Amino acid sequence: SELVDRARRRGARDARLAPVTVPTAGGPVCLHDGKARAELGAVDRPLLMAVGALEPGRGYGTLLDAAREWRELDPQPLLVIAGEGRERAALQRRIVAEGLAVRIVGRRDDVAELLAAADIAVLPSRWEARSLLAQEALRLGVPLVATAVGGVPELVGDAAELVPYGDPAALAAAVRGLLEDAERRMDLAAAGRVQARTWPSEDDTIAHVLSVYDELAATR
């Protein structure tokens, strides 16, 4: 909706929101899968998961700032970041220099399985439209901490913890609060699945696009 409003302010004659669904996973995904957690090194510690291109504006610097504050927790959570990009080398140097409990695992084709194994998903971006990570996390029932930017609040409703962009203290506090409150995590997991059922299906998306084509063709 933010983009629609922006387009109208800049003179668009006709601007409408057309949400695009993310296809659901092809098969069942096992939550808190022990094999995936063992591979990542998070058998006896909380697992936090972030996914996305390692590019400016994705908020990974803020995320590493927050990870510094998690070092005092016992057990210390492990943050795993799945993605590739031009900031990887700089992020990796910082992880090593500061001794952070963070692993960058690169581009993966099993993101749904890794995300399902996590205790919390984290989305620290400067801006998002309909975030793929947010949609996958809520559908899987994985509690989400995300920045209140772009289309994220509209997408997730009350089914996630939202924090300001670029605020590592707020991000760290939200994650810490969820790690210390199992009941809140369960509530968010349930709310996420409910929220996901309000999103359009693949058939809804196709029907919407075709209806727009029909409307445009009729006015020619």
Domain residues for the domain of 143 are: 28-213
CATH code assigned at 151:
3.40.50.2000
The token duo for 217 is 């063709």
Helix (H) or strand (E) holding 52, with range, is: none
The number of folded domains in the chain is: 1
pLDDT tens over the chain, length 220 residues: 888 999 999 999 999 888 777 776 555 666 767 888 999 999 999 999 999 999 999 999 999 999 999 988 999 999 999 999 999 999 999 999 999 999 999 999 999 999 999 999 999 999 998 899 999 999 999 999 999 999 999 999 999 999 999 999 999 999 999 999 999 999 999 999 999 999 988 888 889 889 999 998 997 6
pLDDT given for residue 170 in this prediction: 98
pLDDT of residue 152: 96
Separation CA 31–CA 115 (nearest Å)? 8
Q: What is the rounded CA–CA span in Å between residue 165 and residue 61?
A: 11
Residue 179 confidence (pLDDT): 97
> pTM value?
0.91
Displacement of CA 151 from its chain's centroid (Å)? 12
Give the type of residue at 33: D
In a domain, 95, yes or no: yes
Indicate whether 20 belongs to any domain.
Answer: no
Question: How many angstroms from the chain centroid is the CA of residue 143?
Answer: 10
Torsion angle in degrees (nearest 10) through CA of 54, 59, 65, 67: -70
| 5 lies in some domain | no
